[in-house]
Amino acid sequence: MIKLSTLVVAISLALSSQANATTITASDKAIKLAKDTILIDTHIDVPYRLHDKWADVTKATDDGDFDYPRAIQGGLNAPFMSIYIPAHLEFEGKGKSYQLANLLIDSMEAIAQRAPDKFAIASSTADIEEQFKQGKLSIAMGMENGSPIEGDMKNLQHFFDRGVRYITLAHSQSNHISDSSYDIRRKWKGLSPFGKKLVTEMNNIGMLIDVSHISDDAFYQVIELSKTPVIASHSSLRKYTPGFERNMNDDMLLALKKNGGVIQINFGSSFVTAKAGSWGKQLKSTKESAKKEGTKLSNDFDAAYRAKNPYPFASLEQVLDHIDHVVALIGIDYVGIGSDYDGVGDSLPIGLKDVSSYPNLVQGLMDRGYSDTDIKKILSGNTLRVWKQAEAYAKKH
């Protein structure tokens, strides 16, 4: 007799195998273009992945979405590693978020020190460009959730000095800086008084402001206050996910263009299609109903549910639709890549399952008529532009 857990694993593996199939196969030209170009992905969650379970990503790993061999295969040479701080009340304002942020930064420095022939910490656009020439994979860092600032501008300078170059102001709950798009309690009705001061100080030191995760009101307040272009480091479009405030709508895109910023498209299926988002809500509802009925949930509950209700993975083509819409609405100069690899679990689209997959994206762009010049803007040119503008502003202030 086959155990339920064994059967579920077998079904899950079969589904995973199906999901890894792709209708787009990268040509030699697409692979070469990816590898010959600085390729910046503004959001990869390696630090917290390694915090949960250590793995030597300087070598091939058995799990996760990132390691050095796969990055090289995909042409990824300049990821922003996310210094992710969970949005727990036990972290906010109690020193724990500050401590965790420093610990995660330590882990990235350890990777660079472990394999200095492969990795190097990058804290400027000049670092990115020089390390690319040297054939090294740059580790840039962005902080996801501004909780570690803890209301003290000295901490902002501290993390800048440690190499953090953007801050996502809030995460899944409102904090002392900003309201969150996920949090129905709109404590600040946008930014807090401290948050408004923080935006100015981030401008002054050259720290990019990341508007992913924050509420719509907070977004427009940032746009009004910021003297430099902002980024949405890992967001997609509300056009394809109606009602999902975590993504950006067309009015926000138009405001982003006026600001000169960039939206980096998130690959997670629930960010790409409404169908995937609805699946997640249905799973949550089913679990809550079972708990109310007194049913004890097994460790295999999620896998068993997925076996009966296969997850509706987004496709690479649908990710490309998001890029197309940004380009059609506001132009080629305002879109980039923010995959959320190692941050969205096993919800990644067919054809974009890990960091080896960027050539598939490049091929898809080529197939849709994008020129090499335009593709290079998406891969890094647009992000480098806003980063350089932030650096230039800071030199004057």
> What is the Cα–Cα distance from 248 to 98, expressed in whole angstroms?
29
Please tell me whether residues 280 and 330 are part of one structural domain. Answer: no
Q: Is the pLDDT of residue 303 over 60?
A: yes
pLDDT computed for residue 350 by the predictor? 97
Domain assignment present for residue 325? The answer is: yes
- Band of residue 291 on the pLDDT scale cut at 50, 70, 90: confident
Please tell me whether residues 247 and 360 are part of one structural domain. Answer: yes
Domain assignment present for residue 16? The answer is: no
Whole-prediction pTM value? 0.92
Percent of the chain with pLDDT over 70: 94
Residue range(s) defining the domain that contains residue 201: 28-273+315-396
Q: Is the pLDDT of residue 66 over 70?
A: yes
What are the tokens at 271? 């960010």
Percent of the chain with pLDDT over 90: 86
Per-residue model confidence as pLDDT tens digits over 159-201: 999 999 999 999 999 999 999 999 999 999 999 999 999 999 9
Domain assignment present for residue 10? The answer is: no
Domain assignment present for residue 119? The answer is: yes
pLDDT computed for residue 293 by the predictor? 80
Looking up residue 259, the CATH number of its domain turns out to be: 3.20.20.140
Q: Among 311, 339, 357, which residue terminates a domain?
A: 311
User: Reduced to 3 states, what is the DSSP secondary structure of residue 37?
Assistant: coil
Q: Which range among 15-24, 66-75, 115-124, 138-147 shows the weakest confidence by mean pLDDT?
A: 15-24
Please tell me whether residues 124 and 238 are part of one structural domain. Answer: yes
Q: Is the pLDDT of residue 6 over 60?
A: no
Please tell me whether residues 206 and 280 are part of one structural domain. Answer: no
Cβ neighbours, 10 Å, residue 20 = 14
Domain assignment present for residue 2? The answer is: no
Domain assignment present for residue 219? The answer is: yes
Per-residue model confidence as pLDDT tens digits over 326-379: 999 999 999 999 999 999 999 999 999 999 999 999 999 999 999 999 999 999
> What is the Cα–Cα distance from 345 to 258, expressed in whole angstroms?
34
Cα angle value 86/88/90 (rounded, 5°): 125
Q: Among 288, 311, 334, which residue terminates a domain?
A: 311
Please tell me whether residues 279 and 265 are part of one structural domain. Answer: no
Please tell me whether residues 199 and 336 are part of one structural domain. Answer: yes
State how far the alpha carbon of 340 is from the alpha carbons of 49, 79, 168, 188, in Å.
12, 11, 13, 27
Domain assignment present for residue 3? The answer is: no
Please tell me whether residues 301 and 227 are part of one structural domain. Answer: no
Q: Is the pLDDT of residue 85 over 50?
A: yes
Please tell me whether residues 282 and 179 are part of one structural domain. Answer: no
- Band of residue 11 on the pLDDT scale cut at 50, 70, 90: very low
pLDDT computed for residue 299 by the predictor? 80
Domain assignment present for residue 11? The answer is: no
The residue whose two tokens read 């809500």 is 281
Per-residue model confidence as pLDDT tens digits over 93-129: 677 999 999 999 999 999 999 999 999 999 999 999 9
> What is the Cα–Cα distance from 249 to 261, expressed in whole angstroms?
15
Please tell me whether residues 298 and 184 are part of one structural domain. Answer: no
Please tell me whether residues 289 and 149 are part of one structural domain. Answer: no
Q: How many domains does the chain have?
A: 2
Beta bridge partners of residue 81, listed in sequence order: 44, 141
Please tell me whether residues 340 and 353 are part of one structural domain. Answer: yes
Please tell me whether residues 296 and 364 are part of one structural domain. Answer: no
Per-residue model confidence as pLDDT tens digits over 229-276: 999 999 999 999 999 999 999 999 999 999 999 999 999 999 999 999
Assess contact for 177 and 191: CB atoms under 8 A.
Answer: yes
